[in-house]
Structure 1
Amino acid sequence: MSSGHPSAIRSGCTRTARHTRVPPEQQDLMKTLLSRLVLSPLKKKIRQPVEAFRRTPSYVDRFELGPWSKAQGLVRERSRTRPAKRLLILPSDPITFQGAKGDEAMMEASLRVIRQTNPGVEVGAITASDQASAIARASGFKPLQNWNRPFSYESIARAVSAFEPDICVVLGADVLDGYYSTPHAARMLLTADLVARTGADVEVLGFSFNSTPSPGLARLFERLHPRVHLNVRDRVSYDRFVAFTSRPAQLVADSAFMLAPTTDSAGVLRIAEWVATRRAEGRTVVGFNLHPMLFRNATREQISALIERSGRVLADAAAERRLSWLLIPHDYRGSLGDDVCLAPIGQALKPKLGDDVFHMTGEFTAAELKGAAGLLDGVITARMHLAIAALGGGVPVAAVVYQDKFRGLFGHFGLPDTLMMAPEELIGGNAFDGFVRDFIDHLPDLRAQVAAALPAVKDLSAKNFGTVA
């Protein structure tokens, strides 16, 4: 029986309230299990119907076309000047601006072509973050940081009217079919429309179009202003596009084929010296690229399997075919970047191959990456714009593909589907071993085939700029 003394009561309360302390590592494990077993499935269950709705015409009509229609009244139309005084760039990712080197390649190629006929043009760029605006300024562009959250067509209309562009290029890349996001695709296209309504000519640079585009985008394409000129970057995508919508489009090749390579920077010269040394020792020098986005929402197990299998096959092929490997990152976006895979592959190969493996560390420009790719005998890549950089330098390519956009690119050169492999095949069985060996064994014939097709491909690439250059 308690004495009722305050100290006794406090002591009793202390005994009943005392809890066993869970060690920090067990807390982390419990959080991980909670996330994997409860929160992640719950988020996925909620996200799936939301994403399905966003692909519908009902969503696009109400949440994209509706606000866009209201914003049109804020656009001030004017006559464009010739030569153009102001160029506006809409990147495929306004948040990072140039995180993927493909966007940088398309921008630099566009500026090179456009400045030939518009030498004093001022360049503006639509951005969505302080980081993107800083990158734009460093490139000599004026940032228009109006791609906000929540997104506002009215804000975009005011910004583009104030900038008064004469011409505009939109980096459609692989985002205009809604594969990644229907809202983003709609906003890219309807922003292009608002720019056209100021009196500017707009070129949507060559883009891919997959086999399952968002149904809600069909009517949206058809409602774009006539000064929005659509360019589709391969025959496969073009055929899909004309079957999807009645909006006219032009068949082109990717605008990045117009990028001029950098061959004289310190980084590229160092690679050139290494390549020359390896060739002098009788080695065939091949580039290799891999990235964690090969699987959508990739698990640690999938990424580990990519790294382990690739490292083993590259080591075996180096011994059997007298190869040297250049590991080439083409995307530097942190957890989405290529070094998530390439850095551990390089670390695993270095003790086995010594000087026969070279990992390109640090960040290279798109033009430098094209210069480096052009030094090689072949390239195996999971990034399409690294494939374009290599092919643009006459270098044969094989690809690990996670969308079917490579098929259209390869079609420009008459390259067979056997030069493409799905990531599931790479990590399962022994198919990747044979894939690498077959590619190496056919390099001379493939190089001749690429060289024969390249002039026509460059001519198609130049067609991207019909109204802006």
Structure 2
Amino acid sequence: MLRNARRLARRALTRAINSGPILALQVGTDRRIARKASGLEPSARSGHIVISTVGLGNVGDQAMLEAFLDNSTEHVHVVMPATNSLTLPIRHAHRATLVHLPGLVDGMPYRRKNSRKAFVELVRSAKTCSVIGADIMDGGYSPRESVLRCSVLALAHRLGADTAVMGFSWNGNAHPLARDAIRGIASTTTLYARDPLSASRLKADGIRCTEVADTVFSFDQIDAPRDLLSWRSSQAHRRLVVVNASGLVASATMIREYVTAVSALRARDFAVLLVPHVLRQGDNDLNACSDVYSHFHADPAVHLVTRLMQPAEVSWIVSEAEAVFTGRMHLAILSLNHGTPPCVVSTQGKVEGMLSLFGLERYSLEPTVGLGSRAFDSILELTQDGLRDRLVTIHPTVRDMALSQFRHVNQHASHPRSLP
């Protein structure tokens, strides 16, 4: 009974902090702080601020951060909602700093006070302030996270920083609070929609945006994971398919569908590598991938990755594959960077637009009964002759679209990075 009472209390608290009045109170406080701070003596400006996604064991979130760092210059303060959310790659350790500001873009009103104060000090001397928008801004997961990110960007603009929301999706049913919040900053903040479908939805909602591609389409790091080299060598005579079972769609029914797909692939003598892309409580891919692997653990041609991979390691894995079947969009993006065709389980309305950049929208698969057979049929189509060459030909155009949003950062640099 006590456990149920606590659960109900947590739900009530979540509803309260996501409510319009509580969010309006926080936004109003941000505005008052901005008005007060804007009257202070201006600081000399240098470097950039980027507000990261949640991370905490998400390869896609890590890849978006690394793409930002790879394509920016000068010092970058990476604002994170939690300690150890993400890591700094060694190649950027000399020019980036991780800053933990709890509650700034996702927390309770009482937790934001100190974080807001620290953020104001940072942004008063920064040239730019960017939010990695990803799939957060439409409020599909939490309207609070969208509204507070918009509020922080409005504060940063008032204090003199050039502001932007980097590559983000916009689903067909954005939360009204999120829609109002992003509409409120559209005149002062550059909004980069990361696929044509999101751009059209934003424009239909009366929100001005610039169409680009996901920042990870610019990611070009690659690193062979030593713990996979032996297995890959042992299966070099077989064509490889990478399979990701997402913790977002990990019901018993969906696990059976993944087992169906892997069984069909093995019947055609494909080697299968099960790769978790998110390892964290709540939507853990490793649990889902392990459930699938339990049906094949005696088969040496099926292998399970059991640790969190770095984006560069995932890039090597997908570069070795003939095709990818994934429930995570950024695994598909990393595969397309190497011409490897993916079929992708559709979640949050963000996959179709990305795939349309390569003419692959038909390979956005709904997580319903029959998924396993549809995925297998898709993989057979995707491994046909000539498709990989076509994807490699298209990729430079998509990469240039991804790079175009970094002009927001580099136009302020003392030594601008050359971009298309």
Instruction: Output the TM-score relative to the length of structure 2.
Output: 0.84
Point out the more displaced range, 254-263 or 140-149: 140-149
- State the SS of the aligned residue for 1:171: strand
Q: Does 1:447 align with 2:395?
A: no
State which of 52, 58, 62 in structure 1 corresponds to 2:24: 62
Point out the more displaced range, 384-393 or 361-370: 361-370
Q: Which amino acid letter does the alignment assign opposite residue 158 of structure 1?
A: K
Deviation of the 1:382 alpha carbon: 0.3
Cα deviation 1:231-289 (Å, max 9, x = unaligned): 0000100011111134x21100000111122234524xx34x54454242xx2210000
Equivalent pair of 2:323/2:340 in contact (CA under 8 Å)? yes
Deviation of the 1:318 alpha carbon: 0.9
CA change 1:175–1:398 in 2 (3 A) is same
Q: Which amino acid letter does the alignment assign opposite residue 219 of structure 1?
A: D
Matches within 5 A, 1:342-421: 342-351=289-298, 353-354=299-300, 356-417=301-362, 419-421=363-365
Q: Does 1:177 align with 2:138?
A: yes
Q: Does 1:143 align with 2:104?
A: no
Deviation of the 1:156 alpha carbon: 4.5
Equivalent pair of 1:125/1:142 in contact (CA under 8 Å)? yes
Deviation of the 1:154 alpha carbon: 5.1
Bigger fraction of residues in helix: 1
Equivalent pair of 2:80/2:98 in contact (CA under 8 Å)? no
Q: Distance in 2 between matches of 1:100 and 1:399?
A: 17
Point out the more displaced range, 377-386 or 140-149: 140-149
Unmatched segments (≥5 aa) in structure 1: 1-30, 295-301
Deviation of the 1:74 alpha carbon: 4.0
Deviation of the 1:325 alpha carbon: 0.4
Q: Which amino acid letter does the alignment assign opposite residue 266 of structure 2?
A: A
CA change 1:308–1:192 in 2 (3 A) is same
Q: Distance in 2 between matches of 1:256 and 1:313?
A: 27
Q: Distance in 2 between matches of 1:80 and 1:233?
A: 32
State which of 213, 223, 226 in structure 2 corresponds to 1:253: 213
Alignment RMSD (CA, Å) = 3.0
Q: Does 1:263 align with 2:204?
A: no
Equivalent pair of 1:206/1:232 in contact (CA under 8 Å)? yes
Deviation of the 1:409 alpha carbon: 0.5
- State the SS of the aligned residue for 1:129: coil
Q: Which amino acid letter does the alignment assign opposite residue 361 of structure 1?
A: T
Deviation of the 1:43 alpha carbon: 7.6
Deviation of the 1:136 alpha carbon: 6.4
Equivalent pair of 1:204/1:229 in contact (CA under 8 Å)? yes
Deviation of the 1:412 alpha carbon: 0.7
Q: Does 1:284 align with 2:243?
A: no
Q: Distance in 2 between matches of 1:150 and 1:454?
A: 42
Equivalent pair of 1:197/1:225 in contact (CA under 8 Å)? no
Equivalent pair of 2:48/2:126 in contact (CA under 8 Å)? yes
Deviation of the 1:99 alpha carbon: 2.6
Aligned to 1:22: none
Aligned to 1:100: 58
Q: Which amino acid letter does the alignment assign opposite residue 359 of structure 2?
A: G
Q: Distance in 2 between matches of 1:159 and 1:44?
A: 28
State which of 412, 435, 438 in structure 1 corresponds to 2:375: 435
Deviation of the 1:454 alpha carbon: 0.7
In the comparison of the two structures, how many residue pairs are matched? 398
- Taking only the aligned residue pairs, the percentage that are identical comes to 22
Q: Distance in 2 between matches of 1:61 and 1:266?
A: 47
Cα deviation 1:162-182 (Å, max 9, x = unaligned): 222222331111010011111
Unmatched segments (≥5 aa) in structure 2: 411-420
Deviation of the 1:132 alpha carbon: 3.8
CA change 1:61–1:369 in 2 (3 A) is closer
Aligned to 2:117: 158
Q: Does 1:238 align with 2:161?
A: no
